[in-house]
Amino acid sequence: MDRNFESAKHGYLANSYLEVCEAEVAPIFQELNNGYLFIQDNASIYRVYLVQSWFRAHRIIQIVNWPAYSPDLNLIEHIWWHLKVRVYEMFLEVAADLSKSKYARQRPVSCI
């Protein structure tokens, strides 16, 4: 997706987002029966008239009342938590191994 580097936040361009929707979202919703929803957060790119028109034309229902700052509803936030725990546990094992090594007991030699 292309970014708009002229905007203050360097956000993505609506046309670029629609290319992704056309290539990835439309085929999935063509295969599904009615009754499925497409969930997006409240980013400004999703509220652009051009994007809203595309979703209406493809008869894809969106959830528009998504609460702001709702990490409990965002699956990736839970995955990040588990990843952080695992990385932390790995770091503790590495740190323990390093403290046992002969290099950890040596005093640094000054080059001055």
In angstroms, the CA 101 to CA 47 distance is 57
Instruction: State pTM to two decimals.
Output: 0.56
How confident is the model over 16-70, as pLDDT tens digits?
A: 899 999 999 999 999 987 778 888 877 888 888 999 999 999 989 887 666 766 7
In angstroms, the CA 63 to CA 20 distance is 19
Q: Which domains does the chain have, with CATH numbers?
A: 14-105 (3.30.420.10)
Residue 59 region, left (φ>0) first, then alpha (ψ -120 to 50), else beta? left
**CA 105 remoteness from chain centre:** 42
